Structure 1
Amino acid sequence: MNSLRRRLILLLVASIVGVVGLATAAVISVRGGGPPPELTVPWIAQQMEMVVRLLPGPIPDVLRVQFADHPAGGKVARAETAMLNDILHRRGLDFPAVVNEKPDEPGQIASMHLPDSRWAIIEVPHLKPPRREWLVLAGWISLIVAGATAVSVYFTSVLIRPLEMLEAAVSKIGSDGVLAAVPEVGSAEVKATAHALNQLSSRLRTAMESRMRLRAEFLDDERDKWLHDLDELDRIADSAIRLVREEVNQDAVEAVDLAKTVRDIEAEMVSLGHAVSIGHLEKVCVRAGALGLRRALRNLIVNAATHGKACRIDLAATDNRAVLTISDHGPGIPPELLNKAFEPFFRVDPGRLQSIPGAGLGLAIAKEIIERYGGTVTLENRRGGGLEQTVVFDAV
């Protein structure tokens, strides 16, 4: 939960700071650090008009005008040039003028051709940024980050509060395998999960009570069947609880030696009497939670060894991918049911309920874990009989 909290906070802070930063950059880009030409160009036109009126007499220093035989250099600012010539024309001064960008520093400079063939050159006012502008910018960014962090922490707490309630409810599952009632509040997804858990708990309780009452009436004659049904219900409840916990509990992601994990599982399966063997095995690592990945692969191998009588495990590293193949010699799965094999409580033949223990959640749990860590798992019937389970991860 703490990991999810941190990710949400970082995402919100980055989003808020990014948006405000882009908006600030856009404003600075549009303003360009100086006053708009609608304020500066009329002032330049007025200064030039005063220069023309004072000629051929002396020009006061207060006008800060220079004279040259040619206009100032630099890139022509077309919009300001057009605006300046239009204002001069409306004031009765039909002398060509031009506004240029300064070549070596920010700002502009205006030039007007005088009647005596000289050029009057006047600098366009340019507002420089305030002193210590980097200090001001740093303070601005700090305020944004502080405010964004406070807002993000608050809303993240609001968002994950229902998930914390869900985790707390799962951790309080009783010894009877019944899940405590989960408050159906929060977002639509959390409400749907809580509703499904409450329905599952209610159905398990109802089924257990009904079967116990029914078997109790025939206890003397069917004691063994009654005990078998209780064991089956216990397995179903245990599998359902593990599936829920897989959704809530996530171990840390790290580089996992897939070959070593396969060898450890194979040794465990052989010690339990399963016919499991290892074929071609290459050393390759993947990024996943070590405990979760081991649980997922163990479920797949147990499924193959149980329903397929015996299975073989192969591991290859190709094209920066780890490809794990689990092949068995069983009856396989009818093609029309392959896309349903990963559904909870799925069984090819409901009649297996009495002969092979299990609740039908092993493949569902395995698929959820594998996909959580970025992998894929697929099923395919083998030619000549049997089922092939293929797990693919990006190698590291």
Structure 2
Amino acid sequence: MQALRRFFSTTLGQILAIIACSSSITFGLFILLLFNPGGPPRPPWPWTPTYRIASIARVLAQTPVDARARTALSLQTPSLTLGMTKTPARCTVNTLDDSELYHTLSDELRDIGATISVHSCDARDPNGTIQVLVRLKDDDAMQLEARTQRVGPEPPRLRFPFYGAALFMCVGLLAMSLWAVARVIRPLRRLADKAEAFGREIALAPIEEEGPLEIRRAAHAFNLMQERITHSLQNRTRMLAAVSHDLRTPLTRMRLQLDTNESETVRDKLRKDIDLMQTMVSSALSYLNTGNDDESKEWLDLSALIATICDEYEEAGAAIRYEGPRQIRCFCRPDGMQRVLANLIDNALRFGETVVVVASVREDTILIDVSDDGPGIPETRLRDVLEPFVRLDPSRRGQPGSVGLGLSIVRDIVRAHGGELKLINRRPVGLTARIVMPQCTHDQDAKAELSQR
């Protein structure tokens, strides 16, 4: 049932359904108009024999059973032979004339409960003898046999109802087919127009997702592509604006210092400014390259990686410690995870004095918490700081050289691993950056990686 519903949601299925429905409706109307032309048959056929036979049957119904044979013989005419018989020699030919006579007789004798049978005796002679058998409901042994000739000219069979039905079928099929084609072409044309306009103007309203399944999928993919491209261009524009703005100040200082001083102290300041510029450029390049590297996934002891990174920071004089199990197996990109941990620890050390990294495995989920004792982030801005180029310098003691890309890089790498980054304020002070990674995702990625090899 699901497969059938899916088939009829496709372009081919909808067109086939439209044509099939229109053909069926047209055929039904054709049959209705051809064999039931909107009223009883016109005189003279079959009204003359119908009235005569119906009148005789009513008379016989009021006549005693033993006197019906004599009554029938007395009522016959040169054009209508009558008789009561037990075993009549039945005629077996069926024609449209017989059908018309049968239906009109049945309507006339319905009130007395008579059983009617009408057949022609000679298929080669359209004006030949027609046999009518009438069995009255109070006599199961005998039945009235009436034989008559067809009266009047042959009625035209192919009258207006036939031509009207044929014309309606042709026009209906043509109209339905045109409507089906238009229903498919309209969203395709709209999609083509949007694609052409997108080449001239980036910011466009999303295209309406309508039409068959394939068209809706194409429109949905186009909307996603448009949204991603627009978002990417906006981010890069903002990045260039931020970097340009932040580079203007150190460059101005460098130019002034070079013009006025040449001492060793000035050189040290110039080196710091150069390092500052290098940090900003490196952050921007790291963000641009996030998700575009070709690093392959591999099995990694995540606990050992975290412990190693914490030891390196501790050797450099940072107050940091790691708490967690001795081994956490994870199928991931090692360099990407190292960048994630390094960025989070750098942020924690920048805004706090003590950093604690806690890792754990709960059911099928890997949790990594990087906590500091800094001032935290206002609750209303927790989501904002995950966006690129957002800095909260007044509340987080902003440091020079930051362009607001560290957390954005972390979020994108974690999402590429099927996880999620959350920021949680601690009480009374501090902030926790939590990485939630579903462990089952790593197993599936490992199987996919092995199958590709």
Q: CA deviation at 1:219?
A: 3.9
Contact 1:315 1:323 in 2 (8 A): yes
Deviations 1:212-261 (A, max 9, x none): 21221344253322221221111011101211222x6265896x76x723
Change (3 A) 1:62 1:27: same
One-letter amino acid of the counterpart of residue 28, structure 2:
P
Among 338, 359, 362, the alignment partner of 1:317 is 362
Aligned residues: 291
Q: Which residue of 2 aligns with 1:42?
A: 33
Counterpart secondary structure, 2:324? strand
Q: Which residue of 1 aligns with 2:11?
A: 20
The range that moved more, 292-301 or 331-340, is 331-340
Q: Which residue of 2 aligns with 1:175?
A: none
Contact 2:366 2:439 in 1 (8 A): yes
TM-score (norm 1): 0.53
CA distance in 1, matches of 2:254, 2:113: 115
Change (3 A) 1:394 1:334: closer
Counterpart secondary structure, 1:353? coil
CA distance in 2, matches of 1:120, 1:296: 93
Contact 2:302 2:329 in 1 (8 A): no
Contact 1:282 1:316 in 2 (8 A): no
Q: Which residue of 1 aligns with 2:237?
A: 195
List alignment gaps of at least 5 residues for structure 2: 1-5, 54-79, 81-90, 120-186, 203-227, 441-453
Q: Which residue of 1 aligns with 2:174?
A: none
CA RMSD of aligned residues (A): 5.4
One-letter amino acid of the counterpart of residue 369, structure 1:
I
CA distance in 1, matches of 2:194, 2:340: 34
Q: Which residue of 2 aligns with 1:270?
A: 311
Q: Which residue of 2 aligns with 1:209?
A: 251
Identity in percent: 17
Counterpart secondary structure, 1:326? strand
Contact 2:344 2:433 in 1 (8 A): yes
Matches within 5 A, 1:110-125: 117-118=115-116
CA distance in 2, matches of 1:350, 1:223: 30
List alignment gaps of at least 5 residues for structure 1: 1-14, 70-87, 98-111, 122-147, 164-185
Deviations 1:41-82 (A, max 9, x none): 122236x9699678899675565989xx9xxxxxxxxxxxxx
Among 222, 231, 234, the alignment partner of 2:275 is 231
Q: Which residue of 1 aligns with 2:419?
A: 375
Q: Which residue of 1 aligns with 2:292?
A: 249
Q: Which residue of 1 aligns with 2:222?
A: none
Q: CA deviation at 1:380?
A: 2.8
One-letter amino acid of the counterpart of residue 353, structure 1:
Q
Change (3 A) 1:327 1:202: closer
Change (3 A) 1:206 1:359: closer
CA distance in 2, matches of 1:195, 1:395: 36
One-letter amino acid of the counterpart of residue 393, structure 1:
M
Change (3 A) 1:311 1:338: farther
Change (3 A) 1:389 1:60: same
Counterpart secondary structure, 1:331? coil
Q: Which residue of 2 aligns with 1:8?
A: none
Contact 1:380 1:389 in 2 (8 A): yes
CA distance in 2, matches of 1:96, 1:270: 104
Q: CA deviation at 1:366?
A: 0.9
Counterpart secondary structure, 2:253? helix
Change (3 A) 1:321 1:29: farther
One-letter amino acid of the counterpart of residue 199, structure 1:
A
Q: Which residue of 2 aligns with 1:125?
A: none
Among 386, 391, 399, the alignment partner of 1:353 is 399
Q: CA deviation at 1:40?
A: 0.4
Q: CA deviation at 1:315?
A: 1.7
CA distance in 2, matches of 1:360, 1:194: 13
One-letter amino acid of the counterpart of residue 312, structure 1:
V
Change (3 A) 1:322 1:118: farther
Contact 2:374 2:429 in 1 (8 A): yes
Contact 1:323 1:390 in 2 (8 A): yes
Counterpart secondary structure, 1:118? strand
Counterpart secondary structure, 1:222? helix
CA distance in 2, matches of 1:249, 1:353: 28
Counterpart secondary structure, 1:316? strand
Deviations 1:85-120 (A, max 9, x none): xxx8xxxx48459xxxxxxxxxxxxxx999962378
Structure whose alpha-carbon radius of gyration is higher: 2
TM-score (norm 2): 0.48
Contact 1:282 1:317 in 2 (8 A): no
Tell me whether 1:331 sits opposite 2:374 in the alignment. yes
Change (3 A) 1:202 1:310: closer
Contact 1:342 1:363 in 2 (8 A): yes
CA distance in 2, matches of 1:160, 1:295: 36
